[in-house]
Chain A
Amino acid sequence: MEGKNLKPLSTVKAGETVRLVSINAGRGLNSRLASMGLVPNVKLTVVNNRHPGPFIISVKDSKMMLGRGIAHKIIVL
């Protein structure tokens, strides 16, 4: 049931809030993102998603800019 709605963060429109499922960006980056608060089940809101270009999300009271490549590797629900 859950599997159907899984999608990469990069496809989420600005203004939408999603729940993080997993990140597959390699160990170093996974760990860095986790330390910045991107851990499983955390809620994040996409603030800016303009094509092409980086990506702004809001998580735990802070705003973060992500490269689009990374946004592809973050799986959300």
Chain B
Amino acid sequence: MKKIAVAIAGNPNSGKTTIFNMLTGAHQHVGNYPGVTVEKKEGLCKYKGYEITVVDLPGTYSLTAYSIEELVARNFIIDEQPDVVVDIVDASNIERNLYLATQLIEMNVPLVLAFNMSDVANQKGLVFNLEQLSELLEAKIVPTVGNKGEGKVELLDAIIATVQQGKVKRTHRISYGEEIEEELAKIETVITDNEGQLTEKYSCRWLAINLLEEDRDITAKVKSREVLDVAKGGAEHVKDIFGDEPEIIMADRRYGFISGACQETIRSTVESRHSKSDIIDAIVTNRLLGLPIFLILMYLVFQLTFSIGTYPMSWLEQLFGWAGKAIAGLWPTGSEHWLKSLLIDGVIGGVGGVVAFLPNILLLFLAIAILEDTGYMARAAFIMDRIMHRIGLHGKSFIPMLIGFGCSVPAIMGTRILENRRNRFTTIMVIPLMSCGARLTIYALVIPAFFPEKLRGPMLWLIYLIGILLAIISAKVLRLTVFKGETTSFVMELPPYRMPTLKGICIHTWQRGWLYLKKAGTIILAISIILWAAMSYPKPSSESLMGLNSEQVQQAKVAYSVAGRIGRAIEPALAPLGFDWKIGTALIGATAAKEVFVSQLAIVYAVGSADEGLQTLREQLQANYTPLTGFCIMLFCLISTPCVATIVATKTETNSLGWALFQFAGLTTAAYVITFIVYQMGSLLF
């Protein structure tokens, strides 16, 4: 079987992903490009005795060195030398989309153009003379409709034909006009004389073009002084003649070439009129209606994720409960075998707790996929931007932050919708301050224990509000310090509205879900086992447990364990916050998952299982602590130490353990300082 490597390039919103899905189906692998957090999707497709590896390059408008995505795409094409590059062109927006094609032509790569969404183009009344256009661009053109799966066979045939044809010397080329061509010729000559090595990898003309455009990356690769001098002189000369940067002039010429080619080969049979998109936009970006519509949609996303999600979530919990019982059945009743405890409390308890969130995560990504694929996401960013801009974030940051009220893990994964690294990392850092669903169980325990009926609602509201305010302050601070810099790329395309495809949405959703599952199966499993061991070992001698009832036995065991000892050891540090070792031990447990705080506290107070004993536990809390301590517990749990799953998500999404530790340390320090101040001030007042 012959092997072919194909890279898919194209503008954002050109339907690149639908073509990728069409070619590869479910055989996809998602990862990152080495060293950067740009997502790399790879898939496999078998056709007519060929095994075709398809790589989806990041969506870009051009191939300059100004953004990571563009550099990644460009370097992939240069370094990996795919047999064919397929450029996905939105046929309904042809001129802008062909710009990338002109750059690929200049790189002289074997190229196939997929004129995607040709059905939409036909509806718009565009008639293409593909044969003539194909001659002008010197590349095969295949009309496709990615979301309907049309044009798959033709595209594959064109790919294979292009591979068989091999590298061709292109005859037509984009002319940049006499003055620029003269400079290019000069640069090409010195390159051929001085940089033999570079020309093995790059086309000479492409190098000359990039040097004249003063491309950082390529300029840095050139060693010869002479070449650099000639290029610099050429750029100065062009600036003198045209009064503008060479790259702008050259972009203008490329558009000129495209415009000319399109005029010859494309006819418009219908006068352009108000499209459906314009009508929808008039409503959803309306000054008065925009915000309410957005809020209603967000409410629906939230509802979908966390209301419908409760059902499969409880099934999963039942399943894990049943699995626990089944495993327990392998040992005689009352057995204290370590393996039984490891499997039930460590593995099933830890991983089960994480997997139980899978339905939420799938539903959330389903909702996000729908919002993105229809094109609404860009409008949402537009609507929220005014507000989010004030705290130095992008309009789109609002969506993951909102999701954070449900669970930080999908929220952090959801920040992938943000292209700008600074915006994305800032958003990731503050997401844990959005009080998640698991923390609600802590508030539900503490608030009724200390506060009268009528204060309970406002108290809960206050805690959430503190979280939001802290998130706003932290975001602002981070953007002024660690993630300093202009909110760049505040240029965004508003793609036309489109009907999403079921297949696309399913693949999208599943990929995210699978990433999450893999994490639960590896790192989170390991950490759950460590925490389980810390809560269970070492065990006190059986003599010391004599004469105690089963709850007291549990209490004594926890006190004797590593976690209990750490709890005692850090008691002096926690005392200024109003916490004793029991709370300390529960806080250690809460690192596994926030809701563990409640069950741990139930164990150290020996009130039996948390469910039955919730009321008893509240009485215990009331007897042992003041309402101020109660408030401080909530405050500390709100701010401090994101759970293990969150830390892992941050590590994966930032591609750096450093940022995960920064988040962990930063939030824990903030929690300590703020709780300290509140407790000390509170003690003086009350």
Tell me which of A32, A40, A52 contacts B66 (CB under 8 A): A32
Which residue of chain B has its CB nearest to the CB of A50? Answer: B287
Please determine whether B248 and A36 come into contact, CB atoms closer than 8 angstroms: no
Which residue of chain B has its CB nearest to the CB of A61? Answer: B93
- Tell me if B186 is interfacial: C-beta within 8 Å of chain A: no
State in angstroms the CA–CA spacing of A64 and B61 once bound together. Answer: 13
Please determine whether B494 and A65 come into contact, CB atoms closer than 8 angstroms: yes
State in angstroms the CA–CA spacing of A8 and B34 once bound together. Answer: 42
Indicate whether A34 sits within 8 Å of B66 (C-beta atoms), given known contacts A27-B245, A60-B96, A64-B493: no
State in angstroms the CA–CA spacing of A66 and B385 once bound together. Answer: 11
Which residue of chain A has its CB nearest to the CB of B494? Answer: A63
Interface string of B254-281 (1 = CB under 8 A from A): 0100000000000000000000010001
Interface size class on chain B is 35 or more
Indicate whether A29 sits within 8 Å of B488 (C-beta atoms), given known contacts A36-B61, A54-B382, A60-B96: yes
| Interfacial chain A residues near B495, Cβ < 8 Å | 62
| Interfacial chain B residues near A41, Cβ < 8 Å | 252
Interface string of B274-296 (1 = CB under 8 A from A): 00010001000101000000000
Indicate whether A40 sits within 8 Å of B492 (C-beta atoms), given known contacts A31-B66, A61-B92, A65-B382: no
CB contacts under 8 Å to B, within A18-77, are 22-23, 27-37, 39-42, 47-48, 50, 52-54, 56, 59-67, 69-70
Please determine whether B95 and A37 come into contact, CB atoms closer than 8 angstroms: yes
| Interfacial chain A residues near B87, Cβ < 8 Å | none
Write the residues of chain B forming the contact surface with A, with a CB cutoff of 8 angstroms.
61-62, 64, 66-67, 92-96, 99, 244-245, 247-248, 251-252, 255, 277, 281, 285, 287, 378, 381-382, 385-386, 487-496
By Cβ-Cβ distance, the 5 closest A-B pairs, closest first, are: A67-B490, A35-B62, A34-B251, A63-B494, A39-B252
Tell me which of B66, B248, B277, B492 contacts A65 (CB under 8 A): B492
Tell me which of A35, A47, A56, A69 contacts B251 (CB under 8 A): A35
A-B contacts, 25 listed (Cβ < 8 Å): A22-B244, A28-B66, A30-B245, A31-B64, A31-B66, A31-B251, A34-B247, A35-B62, A35-B251, A36-B96, A37-B99, A39-B248, A39-B251, A41-B252, A54-B382, A59-B96, A60-B93, A62-B93, A62-B493, A64-B491, A64-B493, A65-B382, A65-B494, A67-B487, A67-B490
State in angstroms the CA–CA spacing of A62 and B386 once bound together. Answer: 22
| Interfacial chain B residues near A62, Cβ < 8 Å | 93, 96, 493-495
| Interfacial chain A residues near B489, Cβ < 8 Å | 29, 32
State in angstroms the CA–CA spacing of A46 and B62 once bound together. Answer: 24
Least Cβ–Cβ distance between B115 and chain A, in angstroms: 14
Tell me which of A34, A56, A59 contacts B382 (CB under 8 A): A56
Which residue of chain B has its CB nearest to the CB of A69? Answer: B490
State in angstroms the CA–CA spacing of A23 and B96 once bound together. Answer: 18
Tell me which of A34, A52, A70 contacts B252 (CB under 8 A): A34
Q: List 6 extra interface pairs beyond A30-B248, A35-B61, A48-B285, CB under 8 A.
A: A34-B251, A53-B386, A56-B494, A60-B93, A63-B281, A67-B487
State in angstroms the CA–CA spacing of A40 and B250 once bound together. Answer: 11
| Interfacial chain B residues near A32, Cβ < 8 Å | 61-62, 64, 66-67, 489, 491
State in angstroms the CA–CA spacing of A72 and B492 once bound together. Answer: 16
| Interfacial chain A residues near B245, Cβ < 8 Å | 27, 30-31
Least Cβ–Cβ distance between B82 and chain A, in angstroms: 22
Indicate whether A36 sits within 8 Å of B491 (C-beta atoms), given known contacts A53-B385, A60-B93: yes
Tell me which of B62, B386, B490 contacts A66 (CB under 8 A): B490
State in angstroms the CA–CA spacing of A41 and B249 once bound together. Answer: 11
Please determine whether B285 and A56 come into contact, CB atoms closer than 8 angstroms: yes
State in angstroms the CA–CA spacing of A33 and B248 once bound together. Answer: 9
Least Cβ–Cβ distance between B263 and chain A, in angstroms: 13
Indicate whether A40 sits within 8 Å of B382 (C-beta atoms), given known contacts A30-B245, A50-B287, A66-B490: no
Please determine whether A65 and B96 come into contact, CB atoms closer than 8 angstroms: no
State in angstroms the CA–CA spacing of A17 and B252 once bound together. Answer: 19
Tell me which of A27, A28, A37, A40 contacts B96 (CB under 8 A): A37
Least Cβ–Cβ distance between A65 and chain B, in angstroms: 5
| Interfacial chain B residues near A35, Cβ < 8 Å | 61-62, 64, 99, 251
| Interfacial chain A residues near B248, Cβ < 8 Å | 23, 30-31, 34, 39-40
Least Cβ–Cβ distance between B656 and chain A, in angstroms: 24
Least Cβ–Cβ distance between A36 and chain B, in angstroms: 5
Least Cβ–Cβ distance between B420 and chain A, in angstroms: 12
Which residue of chain B has its CB nearest to the CB of A30? Answer: B248
Least Cβ–Cβ distance between B98 and chain A, in angstroms: 10
| Interfacial chain A residues near B385, Cβ < 8 Å | 53-54
| Interfacial chain A residues near B93, Cβ < 8 Å | 60-62
Tell me which of B247, B281, B287 contacts A31 (CB under 8 A): B247
| Interfacial chain A residues near B382, Cβ < 8 Å | 54, 56, 65
Please determine whether A39 and B255 come into contact, CB atoms closer than 8 angstroms: yes
Least Cβ–Cβ distance between B449 and chain A, in angstroms: 46
| Interfacial chain A residues near B285, Cβ < 8 Å | 48, 56
Please determine whether A65 and B252 come into contact, CB atoms closer than 8 angstroms: no
State in angstroms the CA–CA spacing of A33 and B287 once bound together. Answer: 26
State in angstroms the CA–CA spacing of A48 and B284 once bound together. Answer: 12
Tell me which of A27, A29, A50 contacts B491 (CB under 8 A): A29
